[in-house]
Amino acid sequence: MNNSPPDPASDATATESPSTDDQPTESSDSSHLKPTLTRVPPRVVSLAMGLAFLVVAVGPAAAQNQVGDVYCNTGVATGIDLVFGAVAGLGLPATGFYTGKAGLSYMRAGGNPEKKNDAKEKLVMSGIGFGIVVLALVSPELIDKVGSQMGFGFSDCVKPF
pLDDT per position as a tens digit, 71-87:
777 887 788 788 888 88
Domain hosting residue 115, numbered range: 66-158
- Nearest alpha-carbon partner for 129 in 160, 87, 158: 87
- The domain tally of the chain equals 1
Indicate whether 131 pLDDT > 80.
yes
Q: What is the pLDDT of residue 113?
A: 92
Q: How confident is the model at residue 68 (pLDDT cuts 50, 70, 90)?
A: low
What is the 3 state secondary structure string of 16-45? CCCCCCCCCCCCCCCCCCCCCCCCCCHHHH
Q: Decide if 138 is inside a domain.
A: yes
Q: Decide if 70 is inside a domain.
A: yes
Indicate whether 59 pLDDT > 70.
no
Q: Decide if 87 is inside a domain.
A: yes
Q: Decide if 103 is inside a domain.
A: yes
